[in-house]
Chains A and B, each alone.
Chain A
Amino acid sequence: FDDPQGLHEKTEYLLREWVNMYHSPQAGRDSFKAFNAFVQQMHTQGILKTDDLITRFFRLCTEMCVDLCYRALGEAGQSTTMIRAKCFYTLDAFVRLIALLVKHSGDTNTVTKINLLNKVLGIMAGVLLQDHEVRYTEFQQLPYHRIFIMLFIELNAPEPILEAINFQVLTAFCHVFHILRPAKAPGFAFAWLELISHRVFIGRLLALTPLQKGWGFYAQLLVDLFKFLGPFLRNADMTKPMQLQYKGTLRVLLVLLHDFPEFLCEYHYAFCDVIPPNCIQMRNLILSAFPRTMRLPDPFTVNLVVEHLPDINKAPRILTNIVALIQPASFKKDLDSYLKTRSPITFLSELKSNLQANPQGSRYDIVLINALVLYVGTQAIPQLQNKGVSMSTIAPSPHMDIFQNLAVNLDTEGRYLFLTAIANQLRYPNSHTHYFSCALLYLFRQANDQTIQEQITKVLLERLIVNRPHPWGLLITFIELIKNPTFKFWDHEFVRCAPEIEKLFENVARSCY
């Protein structure tokens, strides 16, 4: 509904008052003196009377700040430094007001504080999305970026009041950043990536918040980013802005790989689910992560016996609930039944069509294929504990029946997605890496069709020829494939299908042993 008569003028007056008070030397430490005086003015002006008025006040203030920025940005001949100084003069003051209101509202009642913060962030998001829609390519991210980051920094200052509500503050910001994810506000995508990769943001969510309670939030934001990039990476037609965004994403992932490898380890499955299958290097980067406590044996060690590695029987943590991803329930029921009793016998013949029930563009349900592969593998591993996982123990079994069926019956595209799902499990030494490495090599050896062997080789090779890093499990699998005579790798025609391919194999082989 329309704002009450006079509220706009009143708000404008108050905002100007506050900006002046904020910048005056008498503002006091953290502007507290100014704040006390200003709250009185808000009272006398009746702004704090109802929740609705407070909401309107913040929305109007936000809009006024934004308009001021658009005017400044529109001024010709101004240096960007001057423009920013002019914008930040008001924006920073407004942020300080919000921070002080959040800190001091409701006295010791943290719920009041967080409710106010959520309200304000919600208003910001609303104003931004409307502006984004209305102005279209004229949209400017500067005011919003500045408000969000300065408010985040203000509310994460090391103060007792703030420490008490820090996790809720982080939750509120992650929530609003999810709402403003690049797919929803592409005009804000660069600022968004700046926000979620700011050192204070990463520090709070991934390092300082106890019990890794912030990890799930951060993973969600990365999934948002990958989903946005997905369609563009999928076609590898990178326009300049997309290249910039992609490179920025690689930088952030490199920071995560270096500082929080366990985070990438635990959420790799969810990330691979939304990273396009042909986005090799970025996915390699994630799959290369390994726990910092782990010492990785050199994959090129001669006579490396993987089965004897201490970690090889430990299951990695996978935080995604893959069972929930296996739909429909009837399919899951049949799958479990087949794994247990190899019935219904129609299961295998219907498998392919079950995997194609995806209406979203691609003919295969990639999420289902990924979930199926990992689920079957994780069902198989416990049953092999006594005998130990190896090429000779993983079959015969209903699990490998399923894998062999997929290798034989899927078409090239489907088989590529299936083999990709397996290769995504070739990571650091753990029971999944070991099982799927054996499974892949078993499929290669058992294949009576060279097309399958060639495609297995391609899936591995495409991951090896890109720049580093390369996952440990990928390296040991490929080394085993080309070294172990039982695979007769070098006898295959496709190794010599073209001089440059032959040369490529020889180069890779030479680097392997």
Chain B
Amino acid sequence: TGIDLTTLGLNLNSPENLYSMFQSPFAETACRPQDIDYHVPAEYLTN
């Protein structure tokens, strides 16, 4: 009967779009907020 698609780690009921938090086709979970690059002023990149 195929795969239960609700077990692939995607929140299909999310009101937000999924692609902006999509981590990888081979990952079981979405990205955490801190995983996602965000364009900040270059001066902020002090490390």
Residues of A within 8 A of B (CB): 29-30, 153, 157-158, 190, 193-194, 197-199, 202-203, 206-207, 244, 247-252, 254-255, 258-259, 280-281, 285, 465-469
Contact = CB atoms under 8 A, between A and B. Distances in A.
Which 5 A-B residue pairs are closest in the complex by CB-CB distance?
A248-B25, A281-B2, A466-B2, A259-B17, A202-B19
B16 to A, nearest CB: 9
Residues of B in contact with A, size category? 20 to 34
Given A193-B26, A194-B25, A250-B3, 6 more contacts: A194-B24, A197-B22, A199-B22, A247-B25, A258-B17, A281-B2
Contact of B5 (A193, A194, A203, A254): A254
Given A193-B25, A194-B25, A466-B1, A30 B42 contact: yes
Contacts, number: 78
A158 B25 CA distance: 25
Contact of A259 (B1, B8, B19, B37): B19
Given A30-B42, A255-B18, A250 B8 contact: yes
A467 B3 contact: yes
Interface in B16-47: 17-22, 24-26, 31, 36-37, 39, 42
B25 A467 contact: no
B42 A29 contact: yes
Nearest to A244: B26
Contacts of B17: 207, 258-259
Contacts of A467: 1-5
Contacts of B31: 199
Interface of B: 1-5, 8-10, 12, 14, 17-22, 24-26, 31, 36-37, 39, 42
Nearest to B2: A281
Nearest to A243: B3
Contacts of B39: 157-158
A247 to B, nearest CB: 7
Nearest to B9: A251
A258 B16 CA distance: 9
Contact of B19 (A30, A249, A255, A281): A255
Contacts of A465: 1
Contacts of B2: 280-281, 466-467
Contacts of A198: 22
A254 B26 contact: no
B17 to A, nearest CB: 4
B21 A199 contact: yes
A201 B19 CA distance: 10
A252 B24 CA distance: 9
Contacts of B19: 199, 202-203, 206-207, 255, 259
Contacts of A255: 10, 18-19, 22
Contacts of B42: 29-30
A258 B26 contact: no
A281 B2 CA distance: 6
A153 B36 CA distance: 12
B12 A254 contact: yes
Contacts of A199: 19-22, 31, 36
A27 B6 CA distance: 47
A260 B8 CA distance: 18
Contacts of A258: 10, 12, 14, 17-18
Contact of A281 (B3, B14, B20, B37): B3
A250 B10 CA distance: 11
Contacts of B10: 251, 254-255, 258
A206 B24 CA distance: 17
A280 to B, nearest CB: 7
